[in-house]
Amino acid sequence: MQNALIAGLIIASICGMVSVLVVLRRTAFASHALGHMSLTGAAAAALLGISTIIGQLSLNLVATIIMGLMGDKIKKNDLVVGVVLTFILGCGTYFLFLFQNNYAGGVMSILFGNILAISVTQIKLLIVLAGIILFILIIFARPLIFASIDPVVAAAKNISLRTLAIVFFIVLAITVSMACQIVGVLLVFTLLIIPGAIGIQWADRIYSIILISIFVANLAVTSSLYIAYYFNLPVSFCITMLLTVIYCVGLLKQATVRII
């Protein structure tokens, strides 16, 4: 439980920051696709007898560099992403078929995550990955935010949108690999979209949005760990439900403001 809390706080903080960029850049489908691609990376890692996060990270980095090179085309051509996703998922199912030892348990852990099984070694790896993301964001935060909000003006000021796209997708690849440890490949969408969307509901300034997103992500993960512990529920289910409820509260607030 202690390991789960530490890992949860690390992952939720990173997801809270990256989630805002995902929403601003409108790359929700690409993020969703990366989460599903993680299945193949995790299954391949299981076959090789190495940590699943290493497999997820390796495959996601390759996929995201390709996405980054596509630039804005990734937003306009979901078909290409869908075809690549289908192919990689097909490979993933075959790898899982070959992974005969503890097949059901291995599949459930990959698909839905198992944060309560996080080890000290994995926490150390998460800290390293979080440090890499923070280092990248410190260097590229301002141009990334600028290009995400107004790419046309950013391009007019000779800011390399393709370079920023590659940087963003590398950050996204690492974040997806980390988030899969909590919610699994099927629900990784939850931590990468909803916190940022909630932040936009409650604030107008970009840094306020990021702070709210980080706070909400941490609140959901921490609360879900305690709820899951005392009521014997899946952690990923609790995180999804809590974030959805908070998002719906924001929708009610917006509807009330319009009526008034």
pLDDT category at 10 given cuts 50, 70, 90 is very high
Instruction: Please check the confidence at residue 207 and state whether its pLDDT lies above 70.
Output: yes
Contact by Cβ (8 Å): 45, 51: yes
**pLDDT of 17-68, one tens digit each?**
999 999 998 887 777 777 777 778 877 887 787 777 788 888 888 877 776 6
Lowest-confidence region among 33-37, 55-59, 212-216, 224-228 = 33-37
CA atoms of 17 and 217, how far apart (whole Å)? 9
Contact by Cβ (8 Å): 28, 204: no
Where do the structural domains in the chain lie, given as residue ranges?
A: 2-259
Q: What is the pLDDT of residue 163?
A: 86
Q: What is the pLDDT of residue 47?
A: 77
**pLDDT of 172-182, one tens digit each?**
888 888 887 77
Instruction: Say which residue, 203 or 95, is predicted with more confidence.
Output: 203
The CA–CA distances, whole Å, from 137 to 67, 146, 161, 242 equal 19, 13, 15, 28
Q: What is the pLDDT of residue 155?
A: 84
Q: What is the pLDDT of residue 186?
A: 64
Q: Look up the CATH number of domain 2-259.
A: 1.10.3470.10
**pLDDT of 76-126, one tens digit each?**
556 666 767 777 777 877 777 776 655 545 556 666 667 777 888 888 988
Instruction: Say which residue, 207 or 117, is predicted with more confidence.
Output: 207
Instruction: Please check the confidence at residue 244 and state whether its pLDDT lies above 90.
Output: yes
Residue 45 CB contacts under 8 Å (≥ 6 apart), including other chains: 51, 52, 53, 54, 55, 56
Instruction: Say which residue, 184 or 15, is predicted with more confidence.
Output: 15
Specify the pTM. 0.84
Classified as helix, coil or strand, 1 is coil
